[in-house]
Structure 1
Amino acid sequence: MKELHPGASPKDWFGNELRELRVAEGLSAAALGRLVQVSDDMILAIEKGKYPSCRRDVAQRLDAVFQTGGLFDRAWPMVFGNRDAEKKRADADKRSGGMAEGPVQVRTGRILGRDDTSPRPGSYEPVDRRAFLQDVGGLAALASTDLTQVFAPSGLSLPENVRPSDIDQVSAAATAISGLDNTLGGGGMVRNVASRAMQWSAGLLQVDCAEHLRADLFASVSRLGIVVGASAFDSYHHDEATKTFKFAADCAEEAGDWHLRAKTYSFLARQAVWIGAPDDGLTYAEKGLVRSDRLTATEQAMLHTARARAFGKMGNVRDTMAAVGAADEAFTRARPSEDPPWMAYYDAAQHNGDTAHALFDLALLSGQDPGRAARRFGTAVHGHGDGFKRSRAISRTKLASLIMAKGDPRQAVAIGHDALNEVGRLTSRRAADDLRQLGRFAANHQTVQEVSVLRERIAATVSA
C-alpha cells in the first residue's frame, strides 16, 4: 500500500485514520465500500487524501462501522466542511431568486431507517415534489393525441382525494410509456407524453390520500419516475433524467419498496457510466445492492451488470470479469415468477446485451478477447423481440462496431446495415451515438468499398 503522510493536511490525516481502522479490522476497500454504500475507489481516494469532498453521511457511516464514537463526524467540518458549506450557500443563493413559496421540508425515506416521522393525515411532504414540479413545469405541452386522456387530464387538474383509480392510471401510464420508449426511443412524442404524465402523477403527492393507499401511491409514482427518467436519458436530457431517477428513488423509499429502489439505482448507474462518470456509476450500483437479500436474483444480476459496465469503462479487467461472473451467477438463479412484473424485460437477451457492453469496453480499452462480447451481443440480437427494437438495434450496432474494430470489416458492414434499418425509425440519441461510433471505426477501412457505402448511410441517418 502507498505510504500515507497524516501530517500533510487534514485530508491526509482523515485518510490515514480510515486506513488504520480498515486494516485493523481486516477489511478490503471493496468490503468497506459495501458497508458504507460507496465504491472501493472512493474509499482508497479518501485514504490517500485525494477525494475532493466526502459527504458527511459517509463519515457518519464510517463511524457506525468502526464504532469510533463519532471521530469521523467530528473531524468532517475541519476536513471537508468548508467546501460543502460554500456549495450550500451558493445553492441557497440560486434558490432565493423569486421563489414565493416557503421551503418544503424533505424527509429522506424509510427503507434504511432514516427519518420515519409519521405525517399528519392528509398532508404528505416526504419528497421534494414541489421543486420537482418546478423543474419539469416548463416542458413542452403535450401534443394533441388520444393518449392525453390516459396520461394527462386537461389542464393537469387533480382530484381532491387520491382514489385507487388514480393510482391505477399512474401504473397504466408507466406500462404504456415504457412500451413506447422501448419501441420508438425516448424522444419526440414519447418525451412529451412522459413529461406531462410525470407532472400529473407528482401532483398527486400533494393531494389528500388515505393511509392505506399511501404506499401504493408512492410505488406507482416511483415506477413512473423510472420510466420517465429512462425516456429523458435516452433523449439526452441528462439533468432531468437524474432528477427524475432520484425523485423515483425517494418515492420508492417512502413506499418501502426495495425492488423499485434497486431499479432506480440501476438506472442512475447506467446513466452515470454513459456520461463518463463510471465511479459514480459504481457507487450507485453498490447502493442498489444494499440488502441484496431482499432483492430477487434477477435484480441482483441487473445491478452486478451495472457494476461490470462501470468497471469496464474504467478499463479494470479483473473487477469487470468478476462483476460479469457475479451477474451470470445471479442470473442462473433467476425465477421470473419471483420478479415484479416490470422486471420481465430483464431476460436472457437483456442480460447478454448488458454484460456484452462491459466486455466491449474491455476489448477496446484493454485489448481483451473480442469474442466474448461478440457472442453475447449475438445472443441479445437474436433474443430481443419487436417490443425491444431499441435494445436490438443498439446490440446490433455494438456488434458491428466490435467486428469493424477487431475483425472482418465486410462482416461488420452486413450487421451495420441491419442496425441502420432499425435505428432510422427510432428517436433514440443513444442509438444514434452508437452509429457514430461505428462510423469512426469504419473510417479505418476507407479502401473497402462496402465500408464507404455504410459510412455514407450512417452519416445520412444520424443527420436526418
Structure 2
Amino acid sequence: MMPAEFWASDHMRDALASWHMGRVIYAFRTHPTHKSPITQLDVANWLDITQATLSRIETGDAPEIMSKLIRWATILRVPQELLWFRLPQRDTVDEVDRQGFLRVAAATAATAVASPGSMLRLLDDTRAAPVPSRVGSVEIAQIRDAAQLFAKWDATYGGALVRDVVAAQLRIAQGYLNADCAPANRADLYLAVGSLAHTAAFMAFDACAHNDAEQMFGLARDCAKEVDAVHLHAKVLSSMTRHSIWIGKNTDGLGHVQEALALAPRLTATEQAMLHTAEARVRAKLGDVQAVLTAVGRADEQFANSSPANDPVWMRYYDPAQHAGDTGHALFDIAVKGSFTGEARDRLATAVQQHTDLAARSRTMSSIKLASLVMATGDPAEAHSIGSAALTRANALHSRRAAQDVQELRRYARRAGVNLTATPA
C-alpha cells in the first residue's frame, strides 16, 4: 500500500489517465520513489503471471478482461477513486489478497534496504492477513519461496530490519497447519512451515532475541519430526547447536548435535560435514582439544566427498568458503590458547577471501574472528589492519551477533594495545 503522494505524482497520474493497466503497472514499478526500478520478474511474481506475459501487458493493447484488471489493481492496492472501473466489495477480494500474500511480502522485503518504509506497511498488512480454512499447493509453494528468499536476504544483510515481518508471516504459516490439507500435500506443508520457522529462528538468533529463537527453532524441529523430514531436521539441529553455544548452553548444544549425528546415515556428505563442524565448535567451548581436532578431521573428510547436486536447497550456502569459515571458528577457541593457531588463521583467512557478497554476514564474522585471533597471537600492526577492515564490514550489517563479536574484538585489541577504527577495507 503506497502513500497518497505516490499516486498523486504526475508519473502515476499520466499512466492512470491512459486507462491502460499495462502502463499503470510499468509506472508503478519504475516510480521514482523506488531507489531502483522493480524488475518485471518481481512484479510478474506478485501478479502470478510470467515475465513474458507482463512484458506483453505493458507494451501491447490495453487489457480489457475485467477479472484480471480487478485482480491486478487489488494486488497493487491502486486507490479505487483513481481507477476507470469499479472494484468489488472487500469481502469478495479477500481470496485474491490471500493467494498473493506471501509472494508480495517476500518480494517487498527484498527491497527493504532501499525503502525501509515498505517494511512497516508490509508488517501492518501481514498482521491483518486472514488464515485460510484450506491450504493447497499454491500456499505451500508461497511459504517455501518466502523462506528461501528471506534466508538469502538474511545472509546478505542480517536479519534485524526484516525480522518482525518474517515472524508475523510465520504466525500465519503456523496457522496453516490447522487448516484442511489434502494428505498428499501434508508433508510438503510441514516442510515449508518448518523451513520458514528455521529462517525466522535464525533471524531471531542474529538479533539476539534468544527466547524467540528457541521457540521458533522448536517449531521448526517439531515440523521436521512430524513428517520425518530428515534433512530439515539435521539443519535445524545444527542451528540449534550454534545458538546454544552462543548463549552459553554448551551441554544443550552437545545434545542437539549428537541427536543430529544419529541421522548421519540418511544425510548427504555436505550435511555430515556441517554437523561435524558444529560438533567441533561445541567441543571447543567444552575445552576438549582432541575431540575438536577429531571432529574437524571428520568434517574435512565428509566435505571432500560433497556433491552439491545431492543437497537440499538450504545447503547451498555450505560451500568451500563456508566450510573454511566454520572450521576456522571451531578452531578459534583452542587457537587463542596456543593450539593450532596457524591452522585456524589460514581457514578464517580463506573464508574472508572466498566468501561473496551473498554471504556478507559470514564473511564479516570470519573477518572479525580472524582479527581477534591475530590480536591475541600475532603482530599488532597486522592486527590493526585486519581489525579495521573487519569493523568496516560490520558497520554495513544489521546483525547484533556481529556487533557482539566486535565487542570481543575490541577487548582483544585493548589487551594488544591497538586502537581500532573503521577504515575502507
State the TM-score, normalized to the length of structure 2. Answer: 0.70
Check the 8 A contact 1:377/1:395 in 2, yes or no. yes
Percent of pairs identical after alignment? 44
Quote the residue 2:247 is aligned against. 275
Report the Cα offset of residue 255 of structure 1.
2.3
Residue 355 (str. 1) matches residue 360 (str. 2): no
User: Within 2, Cα distance between the matches of 1:152 and 1:342?
Assistant: 28
Does 2:365 align with 1:394?
Answer: yes
The answer to whether the 8 Å contact 1:269/1:281 transfers is: yes
| Cα shift at 1:151 | 11
Residues 152 and 196, structure 1, Cα contact 8 Å, conserved in 2: no
Write the distance in 1 (CA, Å) between the matches of 2:284 and 2:127. Answer: 46
* Paired position in structure 2 for 1:234: 206
Cα distance in 2 for partners of 1:215, 1:284 equals 23
> Could you say what secondary structure the match of 2:133 adopts?
coil
Within-5 A mapping of 1:164-313: 164-187=137-160, 189-313=161-285
Residues 319-378 of structure 1: per-residue CA shift (max 9 Å, x gap): 00001111111111110000011110001111111111111000124x213111000001
AA of the residue aligned to 1:165: V
Checking the alignment, whether the CA contact within 8 Å between 2:389 and 2:422 is kept in structure 1 is no
Change (3 A) 1:308 1:165: same
* SS at structure 2 position matched to 1:382: helix
- Which residue matches 1:421? 392
Aligned residue for 1:436?
407
Q: How does 1:140-159 map to 2 (within 5 A)?
A: 145=118, 153=126, 155-159=128-132
Any idea what the Cα deviations from partners look like across 1:213-249, whole Å, max 9, x if unmatched? 1000000001111111000001011111011111101
SS at structure 2 position matched to 1:284: helix
| 2:181 counterpart SS class | coil
1:99-138 to structure 2, matched below 5 A, reads none
Identify if the C-alpha distance between structure 1 residues 208 and 385 changes in structure 2 by more than 3 Å, giving closer, same or farther: same
- Looking at structure 1, the residues matched to 147 and 223 of structure 2 have their Cα atoms a distance apart, in angstroms, of 14
| Structure-2 residue corresponding to 1:76 | none
Distance, in Å, in 2 between the alignment partners of 1:228 and 1:399 is 28
Q: Return the offset for 1:262.
A: 0.2
Mapped contact 1:266–1:288 kept (Cα < 8 A)? yes
Structure 2 counterpart of 1:445, one-letter code: A
Aligned twin of 1:162: 135
| Matched-pair contact (CA < 8 Å) for 1:229–1:244 | yes
Aligned partner of residue 409 in structure 2, secondary structure? helix
Mapped to 2, the partners of 1:263 and 1:184 lie a distance apart of 21
CA 150–178 in structure 1, closer or farther in 2 if over 3 Å, else same: farther
Contact conserved, 1:150 with 1:169, CA < 8 A, in 2?
no
Pick closer, same or farther for the CA change 1:278–1:151 going to 2, 3 Å.
Answer: farther
Counterpart contact for 1:394–1:434, Cα < 8 Å: yes
Instruction: Report if aligned partners of 1:151, 1:169 keep a CA contact under 8 Å in 2.
Output: no
Distance 1:444 1:153 in 2: 48
Secondary structure (helix, strand or coil) at the match of 1:345 reads: coil
Query: In structure 1, what is the equivalent of residue 85 of structure 2?
Result: none
Length-normalised TM-score, structure 1: 0.64
2: CA distance between counterparts of 1:336 and 1:421?
32
In the TM superposition, what is the alpha-carbon distance from 1:175 to its structure 2 partner? Answer: 1.1
The 1-side partners of 2:124 and 2:267 are apart by: 30
Most deviating of 228-237 and 191-200 = 191-200
Offset at residue 152 of structure 1 (A): 6.2
Distance 1:169 1:147 in 2: 21
1:276 to 1:248, Cα distance in 2 relative to 1, 3 A: same
* 1:171/1:318 CA distance change after superposition, 3 Å: same
Alpha-carbon distance in 1 for matches of 2:260, 2:280: 14
Cα distance in 1, alignment partners of residues 219 and 316 from structure 2: 23
What amino acid does structure 2 have at the position aligned with 1:231?
M
Check whether the contact 2:143–2:192 (CA below 8 A) recurs between aligned residues.
yes
Secondary structure of the residue that 2:135 maps to in structure 1?
A: coil
Alignment of 1:49-64 (within 5 A): none
Between the aligned partners of 2:124 and 2:261, the Cα distance in structure 1 is 32
Aligned length: 308
The superposition leaves residues 75-96 of structure 1 with CA deviations (integer Å, 9 ceiling, x where unpaired) of xxxxxxxxxxxxxxxxxxxxxx
Match in the other structure for 2:381? 410
Rounded Cα–Cα distance in structure 1 between residues aligned with 2:120 and 2:153: 12
- What is the rounded CA distance, in whole Å, between the counterparts of 2:202 and 2:321 in structure 1? 19
Tell me which amino acid in the other structure corresponds to 1:248: A
Judged with a 3 Å threshold, the aligned counterparts in structure 2 of structure 1 residues 176 and 150 are, in CA distance, closer, same or farther, namely farther
Partners of 1:151 and 1:197 within 8 A in 2: no
- Contact 1:152 1:197 (C-alpha < 8 Å) held by counterparts: no
SS in 2 for 1:282: helix
- How big is the shift at 1:317? 0.5
CA apart distance, 1:149: 6.8
Gap change, CA 1:301 and 1:150, over 3 Å in 2: farther
SS in 2 for 1:145: helix
Partner deviation per Cα, 1:50-97 (whole Å, 9 max, x = no partner) = xxxxxxxxxxxxxxxxxxxxxxxxxxxxxxxxxxxxxxxxxxxxxxxx
